[in-house]
Each structure stands twice: as C-alpha cells, then as structure tokens.
Amino acid sequence: MNRYGRRTLALELAMIAGALFVAFPVYVLVNLAVRPTADTSSPISPTTSPTLDNFTQAWQQGALGGALANSVLVTVCSVVIVLAVSSLAAYPLARVTAHWARGTYLLVLLGLALPFQLASLPLYQTMRDMGLLGSPWALVLFYSGLQVPFTVFLYVGFLRALPPDFEDAALIDGCTPLQGFRYVVLPMLKPVTATALVLNTVAVWNDFFTPLLYLSGSAQQTLPVAIAGFVGQYVTDWNLIFAALVISVLPVLLLYFLLQRSIINGFAGGLKG
Amino acid sequence: MSRSPHAKRLPRIRQARTTPPWWFALPALLLFAFVVLVPSARGVYYAFTDWDGLDPHFSFVGLDNFSDMLRDADATQAIWHTLLIAVSITVIQNAVGLVLALGVNSAIKSRNMLRVFLFAPAVITPIVTAYLWRNLLGPDGAVNSLLGAIGLNGWEQDWLGDPDLALWAIVGVIVWQFAGYSMVIFLAGLQSVPREVHEAAAIDGAGPVRRFWSVTRPLLAPAFTINLMLSIIGGIKLFDQVYALTGGGPGHATDTLSTLIYKDAFTLGEFGYSIALAVVLTIIVAVASTGQYLMLSRNERATS
C-alpha cells in the first residue's frame, strides 16, 4: 500500500507545486524589499542589484525598534499573566462539583461566544476614563482578561482527564492548597501549558484591532500598529514598505522554523485539549 | 493510643482534598469580568441609546438604532458581505485544507517539509500579509505580472479596485493564509485513523474513494467540528485583512460588520449605533456557533 510508485511521484510533484504557489508572495516580498526604488522592472523578475538601504531606512523612519520592544513587552506580560491566573482558576473549576463552580465555568465559557467587538467600545471608554489610552499596560490588562475563557477552557478539559490522586497525596502530607497547586498540579499541566502558550502568544502578538484603538496616535505602538502607520505614511514607496514588512515578519518566522514541531503541535493540540 | 487522633483527623483531610479553595478562581474572574463581561453588558445597554461616546447626557431610544439599520443600505450590505465572506472562507479553506492534509498524509518523501512550509503563513501577522497582498493584487502587482508572463494577459485585473472582485480577492487572501491551519487540524485527525482499519477495508475490496468516504471521513468528524467552527467564527469577526486590503472599499463594496463598527464609532462618533451593529454581530456569531454545534454533534454521534 505504501510503495513509492508513479502515482506517488505525481502527487509529490503536485504538492510541491502547491507549496511553490504558497511561497510565491514571500518571494515577491523579499524581491521588492531588496530592490532600489529606481528599479521599476516587473515585480516577478529577480532584482539585479540588491541593496539593504530599504531596511535601514524603514528601521529608522518607522521607529520599528521601539514597536518591536513594545510588542515583546505586551506579549510576554499578557501571556504570563493569563497562563498564571487561568491555570489557578481551572483547579477549583475542574475539581469542585458544587453548583457555584459549574455555574462559574459556564459563565466563563459564555465569554468564548462573545465577540470582542461588543466589549471593545465600552471598554475603550473605561480605559479612557482611567487615563490608560496610549499605554501598553492597557493592552496587557485587556489581553489578560480577553484570553481567560479560552485558556481556562483548555486547562479545565485537561485537568478533568487527570486523576486527583497526586494532589490528594500532597494535601494529606501537609501541603497547603497553594503548595499543592504549585508543586503537584502545575507540573502535571505542562503539555496543555505548552499549547496555551503557543496559541496565546500568536493571538496577542498578531492582534491589530485593539492596539489600533488604544494606542493609535501615541508614541507607544505595537508592531502591527506601527506597520499600519508606516504604510499610511509611505503609501507609494512599496520597496520601503516591503522592507518594513520583512523586518516585522522575520522574528516570527525564525521562531517558527526553530520551534516548528512544538508550534504545530500547539495548534493541533487545541483539538485534543 | 496513637491511632485515635489520626482517626479523628481523617474526615478533615477528606474535606480538604475535594475542594481547592474557591478564591483560586478570583484573579481570573476579576480580569474576565472587567474586560469581557461588564463591558459586553454595558454594550448591550448602549445599543438602545443615542450615546456619542463622550457626552455624559444621552437618552434611551428603544429599538431606533436597529430600525435605522434596516433602512441603512451600508449596514444591510455589510451584514450580507459578512455572511458571504464567512461562508465562502469556511467552504474553500476547509476543502483546500483537507486536500492538503490528505496529500501530506500520504507516502510522499517531502511530507514533513511540506507540512512546515504550508502552515507557515498561519503564524504571520494578518495585517502584514494583507499589506503584502494589497501590492501583489494591484494593477501593476505581481499577480498580474505572473498572469502576463504565462500568456493570460486577458485575465489581468485591478483585483481590489473592482467592486465585483474585491470581496473574492479578500477571501482568496484569507484562504492563502489559513488553509495550512485547517490542514494541520485535519492531519491530526487523519493520523488518529488506525492503519489496520484502512488495510482491512482494502482487503475487503474498497477502493481509495470508498475507503475515504466510509473509513476516514467519519473518524475525521472532530477535526471537521473544530475547523468549521474556527473558520466560520473567524470569518464573521474578520477585520484586520479587510481594513488593510480595501478599507471596506471600493465605495462600500467590501465593508463588513467589523469595519462598519470601527468607522461608525471612530470616524462618525455614532457609538450607540455602532454598538447596535456589534450586538447584531454577536447574535450572528451565537446563531452560527449553536447551529453548527448542534448539527455537528448530531453527525458525530450518528457516525461514531
């Protein structure tokens, strides 16, 4: 059944052709990013005299360094907070069988169905009244709450499939509940924590709508907002814009190809979690 | 003698073991309430007012915002676009994803590399891929150059500037980016199909098509549930790509509920009306997800 015959070869070639089709935009992206503005030949013909000028110019004029630092700050803080509070919350929500626990869990699941568009306008007013607009901390606060339902959902599903015997043993040995959580429950949650880490990091890093509302016009922008502002400012200079796009994509793709196995498992893992 | 205090303590320990303290849930619940629950509830309330977002004085207008919506051609069009985009993405992205997953799950030698490559676009920031495609799909862009290079000059278009094409161009960009995501989820489902079941069916004389339909497809039901749910809800909420590719244009040809909510609130200052649109969006998401959940859980039960 698994012999490598002529049909398998045909399939192999067809799949590679598909992959080239997917890669084509990335080729154009890089091709135009290294091209001097004066070069107006077809976007698909390879650039003859490549230059890195666009990159240095984009880096300086787009303030991309600061935006990159802000994106890292917002993503790291939000993901750490959301993983900490959600795993801690999932412990009683998965283990306690009383009515309040079931009711609370259902309320949290309701959050999965509510689109962020509904909450984001009233919350915008609240953030404005608290003087948090323009601050990356407003975003950290936002994502720490927004990602709770999904993350709690992953943790509760995983915890319910684990036997409670280890925690029980720890409590009988005199652990406080918090120590039991820290030293017994949390280590067992490692696989689902990896999934939640990947999915939350990608979601927060890539988000555009909320930082557009909370940070636009301020000096403290995240990478997606900085890119949007840059495109607005240099509308016609696509070589420069493409250099900025490459700069913003590079860290993500490097990380992806380094950690591809765990990242793909993280995305597929949402299925089992 | 030493046994009696032990025996006395036992019930207390039993109680401790069944209940991790409730306050463990408190930090998460407070954040969730502050960011999601309370603002959503307030949103529903503002949808029945004429609030402009600033003035503390506003009045209750009942269902006016919703009846205005029915008369507002931009709004009804945006609702239609939202549904059209969501359904098209769901169908095309999952069909492509399934074909890719079947290809990558075969005996071909490049399967591991292909899997990594085909998934890569899914991790790139959507706003970035959208700006990339905005150039590629332009009149002098790479897509037209490519069509010209293979002799299809007649197919060259201003893809995003043509009101009849722009919506489909957006759908194409989304499928390009996320078909690999569907593929990975289908692949996880495919790999859970035991090889022996396939071999048994082959020995019984079932061809590849029959084996897919009768053996693989039923076992893929959970992957279908996840994939359809992700793409339809993602399609309904779509904002970033539309904002970057067309900004809702040309005219209002690609406005969706999300772009209209943004424009009405932040360029026109009509917060009440904008939030009423968000309520409609919420209802569509709720109907789509419950409908899909009911249908698919019935299928899963019927086939397993």
pLDDT tens digit at each of 304 positions of chain B = 444 444 444 444 444 445 788 899 999 999 999 999 999 999 999 899 888 777 777 888 888 889 888 888 889 999 999 999 999 999 999 999 999 999 998 888 888 899 999 999 999 999 999 999 999 998 888 898 889 888 888 888 889 989 889 999 999 999 999 999 999 999 998 888 787 887 888 888 888 888 888 888 888 888 888 898 889 989 999 999 999 999 888 988 999 999 999 998 888 888 889 999 999 999 999 998 888 778 777 766 665 5
Residues 220-279 of B with CB under 8 A from A: 222-223, 226, 236-237, 239-240, 243-244, 257-258, 261-262, 265-266, 271, 274-275, 278-279
Interface touch A249/B124, C-beta < 8 Å: yes
Model pLDDT, residue B120:
93
Model pLDDT, residue B1:
41
Interface touch B271/A121, C-beta < 8 Å: yes
Residue A33 to residue A43: CA distance in whole angstroms:
11
A176: closest CA of chain B, how far (Å)? 10
Q: Nearest by CB to B25, which of A14, A97, A104?
A: A104
Residue A191 to residue A269: CA distance in whole angstroms:
9
A222 contact residues in B (CB cutoff 8 A): none
Model pLDDT, residue B51:
83
Task: Choose the weakest-confidence range: A164-168, A195-199, A201-205, B20-24.
Answer: A164-168
Whole-structure pTM over 0.95, yes or no?
no
| CA atoms A206, A209, A214, A219: torsion sign | positive
Model pLDDT, residue A3:
64
Interface touch B125/A125, C-beta < 8 Å: no
Interface touch B119/A267, C-beta < 8 Å: yes
Residues forming a β-bridge with B49: B60
Residue B171 to residue A129: CA distance in whole angstroms:
38
Confidence of residue A261 (pLDDT cuts 50, 70, 90): confident
Residue B281 to residue B265: CA distance in whole angstroms:
15
In the three-class reduction of DSSP (H, G, I as helix; E, B as strand; rest coil), residue B270 is classed as coil
Model pLDDT, residue B290:
86
- Cα distances from A178 to residues A88, A133, A171, A263, in angstroms, run 9, 35, 10, 30
Give the burial class of A217: count Cβ atoms within 10 A of its Cβ; 0-12 exposed, 13-18 middle, 19 or more buried.
exposed
Specify the higher pLDDT residue, A170 or B182.
B182
Report percent pLDDT > 90 for chain A: 44
Residue B45 to residue B32: CA distance in whole angstroms:
19
A172: closest CA of chain B, how far (Å)? 6
Model pLDDT, residue A273:
36
**Max intra-chain CA distance, chain B:** 98
DSSP character string of B185-235: HHHHHHTTS-HHHHHHHHHTT--HHHHIIIIIHHHTHHHHHHHHHHHHHHH
Which amino acid appears at position A238 of this protein? W
Which amino acid appears at position A126 of this protein? T
B127 contact residues in A (CB cutoff 8 A): 206, 208, 224, 227-228
Q: Nearest by CB to A145, which of B26, B32, B116?
A: B32
Per-residue pLDDT tens digits for A200-243: 999 999 999 999 988 877 888 999 999 999 998 888 888 899 99
A43 contact residues in B (CB cutoff 8 A): 135-136, 140-142, 145
For residue A159, pLDDT over 60 is answered with yes
What average pLDDT does the segment A40-62 reach? 86
In the three-class reduction of DSSP (H, G, I as helix; E, B as strand; rest coil), residue B60 is classed as strand
Give the burial class of B60: count Cβ atoms within 10 A of its Cβ; 0-12 exposed, 13-18 middle, 19 or more buried.
exposed
Residue A228 to residue B247: CA distance in whole angstroms:
12
Place of tokens 């890539």: A206
Model pLDDT, residue A174:
81
- Cα distances from A213 to residues A7, A65, A225, in angstroms, run 53, 21, 10
Confidence of residue A2 (pLDDT cuts 50, 70, 90): low
Q: Which of B14, B17, B181 to mutate to test the interface with A (most CBs of A within 10 A)?
A: B17
Per-residue pLDDT tens digits for A83-99: 999 999 999 999 888 88
Interface touch A88/B124, C-beta < 8 Å: no
B123 and A CB contact within 8 Å: yes
A104 contact residues in B (CB cutoff 8 A): 25, 29
Residue B135 to residue B81: CA distance in whole angstroms:
23
Interface touch B32/A111, C-beta < 8 Å: yes
- Cα distances from A263 to residues A149, A255, B13, in angstroms, run 21, 9, 41
Residues forming a β-bridge with B60: B49
Give me the interface pTM, i.e. the ipTM.
0.89
DSSP code for A131: T
| Number of residues written out for chain B | 304
Residue B97 to residue B115: CA distance in whole angstroms:
11
